[in-house]
Chains A and B, each alone.
Chain A
Amino acid sequence: MNPGPQTITHLFGKSYLPVTDTLIIGWVSVILIIILAKYLTSDLKLRPEGKQNIAELFITAVYDQIEPMIEGEGWKFLPFIATIFIYIGFSNLIGLVPGVPSPTADLNTTLGLALVVFLVSHFEGMRDKGIWGYIKSFGQPVIFLLPLNVVGELAKPISHSFRLFGNIVGGGIIITLIYQAAPGLIPVPLHAWFDLFIGLIQALIFGMVAIAYIAVAKQ
């Protein structure tokens, strides 16, 4: 049993360009999200009704999470944070389909997302404080703590990505073990717990931690 992503084919026949199943599912989920978003936002009205209400409910909920932590810039960060929420939530939910691995059960996906958050937070910190103020912020509160601060900053994307990866992979391994020990209807409630509850909670936490990292970098 190998729980990692399986290599299906190689791009252009090169051995250093493997195409894994999680990569393909990731692209499929991106396309499905685009179709869903196009459908929900087609024919927008001033007085929302039906499917537009769902989209507005979601956008307002995300905005209410960002605004208290990054004051006055909720609309600026809304597209970025909402994309993280939608993509990770959808990726975790797609694991409900039997035989389809979650794209987030691959460290490449989660580390990529965490690195994007890392770059955005440092870019925002640099723009808010200026280059010199940004460099000086590593020497706070005393200059001797500079190496600790640098290591602490570099550990952020690692812990950020491993948290999502470990949760999804751990749930997947437990479900696989239960399927081998007791097939039938017994693993179904476990899907509800590990894929629905843990999946959605982890998407929420990934986005909330991303907001917290950006807010900390801007202070």
Chain B
Amino acid sequence: MVEFAPEVIDTIIRASALLGAGFAMIAGIGPGIGQGYAAGKAVESVARDPEARGNIITTMLLGQAVAESTGIYSLVIAIVLIFTI
């Protein structure tokens, strides 16, 4: 059994927390794809019916905001991991 000095253990904990923050932000892929898909569909709808542009943009923003939630959760977790440990 290898005994580590306390400073080494602290460094390992800090390094793991920073690595974890990086891994947490992988969740940013999902909202990116989702928001892009919503924006693309909105462009299609506006091209088909330019009259309803205002309504489509409002609905798109609302849907994108909800799709963004998971990305924001991972961002908050990453911030907590970076700044509290």
Contacts and interface: CB of A to CB of B under 8 A. Distances in A.
Chain B binds chain A: yes
Interface of A: 1-4, 65, 159, 162-163, 165-167, 169-170, 173, 201, 204-205, 208-209, 212
A166 B68 CA distance: 10
Contacts of B66: 209
B72 A205 contact: no
Nearest to A164: B72
Given A3-B79, A170-B72, 7 more contacts: A166-B72, A169-B76, A173-B79, A204-B61, A205-B62, A208-B62, A209-B62
13 contacts: A1-B83, A2-B83, A159-B73, A162-B72, A162-B73, A166-B72, A166-B75, A169-B76, A169-B79, A205-B61, A205-B62, A208-B62, A209-B62
Contact of A166 (B58, B62, B76): B76
Nearest to A4: B83
Contacts of A159: 69, 73
B62 A163 contact: no
B60 to A, nearest CB: 11
Closest 10 CB pairs of A and B: A166-B72, A205-B65, A159-B69, A166-B75, A208-B62, A166-B76, A163-B72, A170-B75, A162-B72, A163-B69
Interface residues of B, number: 13
Interface in B13-72: 58, 61-62, 65-66, 68-69, 72
A135 to B, nearest CB: 26
Contacts of B68: 163, 167
Contacts, number: 42
A100 B75 CA distance: 23
Contact of B58 (A2, A65, A162, A170): A65
Contacts of A209: 62, 65-66
Nearest to B70: A159
Contact of A162 (B61, B62, B76, B83): B76
A208 B66 CA distance: 11
Contacts of B58: 65, 208
Contacts of B62: 205, 208-209, 212
A74 B75 CA distance: 35
Nearest to A169: B79
Nearest to A212: B62
